[in-house]
């Protein structure tokens, strides 16, 4: 008798962007992902560039996934979370990470837009973009890039966002598939990546 194979994941990567209020939001999302999560996760959180970031260390204590600060040339692996270091754009190129100190985008570095655009180009329909709490409009252009390549977009709802600027800007593009509460995003990602469709 031949053992049944688990279905291949529908998505290879999840790109998450957050700003003000992001630590709480990121913790809530990552804590709800199973240790069997079959996609890599890349994270842009707007941080003060003048200070060393402890974000990766903090998140690693709240999730079953392996969390690390992104470094140049890292290979993206399923079940791993890669956090953009302060004052560096995080880009994805065919399964590897690239860091850049190119000019600020929307007054920020790292930029959600640049991350999402690079993810869209590399992964196309096998990418999910998530926009969490934050001020400003970073991520909106990138959301459109993800959608144009056939990817899926999830945005945090207003009721659970500490700051609704970034989620609102993404929603206004018309390129968002799901607007979910903070508590719903992690389970939705688990379902999508496993190959099922959330209700």
Annotation marks residue 19 as catalytic: yes
* Catalytic residue chosen out of the listed positions 46, 88, 89, 106: 46
Query: Rounded to an integer, what distance in angstroms lies between the CA atom of residue 32 and that of residue 172?
Result: 27
Strands (E), 53-150: 66-69, 80-83, 89-93, 96-100, 127-131
C-alpha angle 111-32-6 in degrees, rounded to nearest 5:
100
Strands 152-156 and 80-83: unpaired
Q: Locate 187 and state its tokens.
A: 């389970």
Query: Rounded to an integer, what distance in angstroms lies between the CA atom of residue 60 and that of residue 51?
Result: 19
Contact 79, 98 (CB under 8 A): no
* Catalytic residue chosen out of the listed positions 19, 118, 122, 161: 19
Annotation marks residue 138 as catalytic: yes
Tokens 């929603």 belong to which residue? 171
* Catalytic residue chosen out of the listed positions 111, 118, 122, 138: 138
* Active site amino acids: 19, 46, 138
């Amino acid at each position: 008798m031949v053992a049944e194979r688990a279905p291949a994941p529908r998505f290879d990567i999840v790109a998450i962007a957050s700003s003000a209020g992001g630590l709480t939001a990121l913790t809530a999302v990552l804590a709800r992902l199973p240790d069997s999560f079959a996609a890599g996760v890349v994270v842009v959180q707007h941080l003060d560039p003048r200070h060393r970031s402890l974000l990766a260390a903090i998140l690693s204590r709240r999730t079953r996934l392996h969390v690390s600060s992104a470094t140049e040339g890292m290979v993206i692996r399923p079940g791993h979370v890669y956090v953009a270091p302060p004052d560096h754009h995080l880009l994805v190129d065919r399964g590897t990470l690239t860091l850049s100190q190119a000019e600020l985008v929307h007054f920020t570095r790292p930029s959600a837009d640049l991350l999402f655009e690079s993810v869209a180009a590399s992964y196309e329909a096998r990418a999910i973009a998530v926009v969490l709490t934050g001020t400003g409009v970073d991520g909106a252009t990138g959301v459109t890039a993800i959608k144009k390549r056939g990817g899926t977009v999830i945005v945090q709802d207003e009721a659970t966002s500490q700051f609704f600027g970034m989620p609102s800007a993404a929603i206004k593009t018309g390129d968002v598939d799901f607007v979910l509460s903070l508590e719903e995003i992690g389970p939705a990602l688990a379902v999508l990546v496993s190959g099922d469709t959330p209700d």
